Amino acid sequence: MQESPFLRACRRLPVTHTPVWFMRQAGRSLPEYRRVRADVPMLEACARPDMITEITMQPVRRYDVDAAIFFSDIVVPLKAIGIDLDIKPGVGPVVADPIREATGVKRLREIEPDDLTYVTEAVGLLVDELGDKPLIGFAGAPFTLASYLIEGGPSKNHEHTKALMYGEPELWDELMRRLATITLGFLRTQIEAGASAVQLFDSWVGALSAEDYRASVLPYTSWIFGQLSEYEVPRIHFGVGTGELLGLLSEAGADVVGVDWRVPLDKAAQRVQPGTALQGNLDPATLFAPWEVVAERTRDILSRGRAADGHIFNLGHGVLPSTDPDVLQRLTAFVHEETAV
């Protein structure tokens, strides 16, 4: 497993080719995914080890990516502790009773060993099936989870979340502590079952200024990464629109920082702490342009990625649902060929 290019790049060791995987590589862009999910609601799929295993493997078989990402969702641990929520097709996570006061916050209990047995089982099945290909476990970071819980669903402006963060710092602290414990529990479950790296998605934290991030988010993500340091697994940290926060995301304790498409990797390399590898960062919309454009932009990213201390090729955010899978397959092969030594 040590020889896997993905793990080597995370650890900033020389690689035989630049490793590639895609955020949201499993999912709606794949016809085989749409087929197996046809009659199964999202959260039911996330609770069935057979489905988790099949869906996680689909992009690995199709694209020959260098890592698999566990098929689940950031709200799965919240569902597991009894929060009434659903994932609605075409919308995303929707919470029945948004949490905006202390009684709601107190309902957020710790993950217990029996809560996520299907995750443990699915990770075990996947590690057997993947052989020497690494499995990335993941979780949503406290801010992003807080946004879904407080807003009640996807949000553009995060106004209720910010109102609580700015206006009720003690309740915010209690909420973030509890969410950090839940996030850690979800990550630990995946690592202890055999995941060989983890990615912490703080997808919506780009909505904050650096000052607010430092005061109201960094302490909790730092705590999570600190608790994970007992394991030998690389820790990746990613958020959308985080150009101004890249230094702080690496300060939180990540080994690898994911970069969206707004900041070129050579610039990002100057913003993160020394000794941090970078992941990214092709704009997912580029995949709808002619192949020559995809190839040219990919070459540019690979060249800028050489400024980083370790580079994992990825998109700047998730695969868009109407992406042509053949383009992702061609892109994976292209990165492998261009960087082969």
40 vs 293 by CB, closer to ligand 1CP? 40
In whole angstroms, what is the distance from residue 101 CA to residue 94 CA? 18
**Contacting ligand 1CP (CB under 6 A), which of 50, 84, 89, 163?**
89
- Number of residues forming the site for ligand 1CP (CB under 6 A): 22
- Is 92 one of the binding residues for ligand 1CP (CB under 6 A)? yes
**Contacting ligand 1CP (CB under 6 A), which of 63, 172, 186, 201?**
201
Q: Which helix (H) or strand (E) holds 281?
A: strand 277-282
- Is 93 one of the binding residues for ligand 1CP (CB under 6 A)? yes
The least CB distance from residue 178 to ligand 1CP, in Å, is 19
Contacts of 332 (CB under 8 A, 6+ apart): 20, 63, 64, 65
The least CB distance from residue 171 to ligand 1CP, in Å, is 23
In whole angstroms, what is the distance from residue 241 CA to residue 9 CA? 24
Tell me the pairing of strands 92-95 and 85-88. Answer: antiparallel
3-class secondary-structure state, position 264: coil
Among 155, 182, 165, 170, smallest CA distance to 95 is for: 155
Q: Please choose, out of 20-28, 250-258, 271-279, 293-301, the segment that lies near ligand 1CP by the rule CB under 6 A.
A: 20-28
3-class secondary-structure state, position 199: strand
- Is 183 one of the binding residues for ligand 1CP (CB under 6 A)? no
Largest CA distance in the chain: 58
Say how many C-beta atoms besides its own lie within 10 A of residue 324's C-beta. Answer: 11
- Is 27 one of the binding residues for ligand 1CP (CB under 6 A)? yes
Among 285, 287, 288, 314, smallest CA distance to 301 is for: 314
- Is 280 one of the binding residues for ligand 1CP (CB under 6 A)? no
3-class secondary-structure state, position 97: coil
Tell whether 311 is in a known binding site.
Answer: no
44 vs 296 by CB, closer to ligand 1CP? 44
Interaction with ligand 1CP in 152-171: which residues (CB under 6 A)?
154
- Is 73 one of the binding residues for ligand 1CP (CB under 6 A)? yes
Residues near ligand 1CP (CB under 6 A) are: 23-28, 37, 42, 69, 71, 73-74, 87, 89, 92-93, 138, 144, 154, 201, 203, 318
Residues within the annotated binding site for substrate? Answer: 24-28, 73, 148, 203, 317
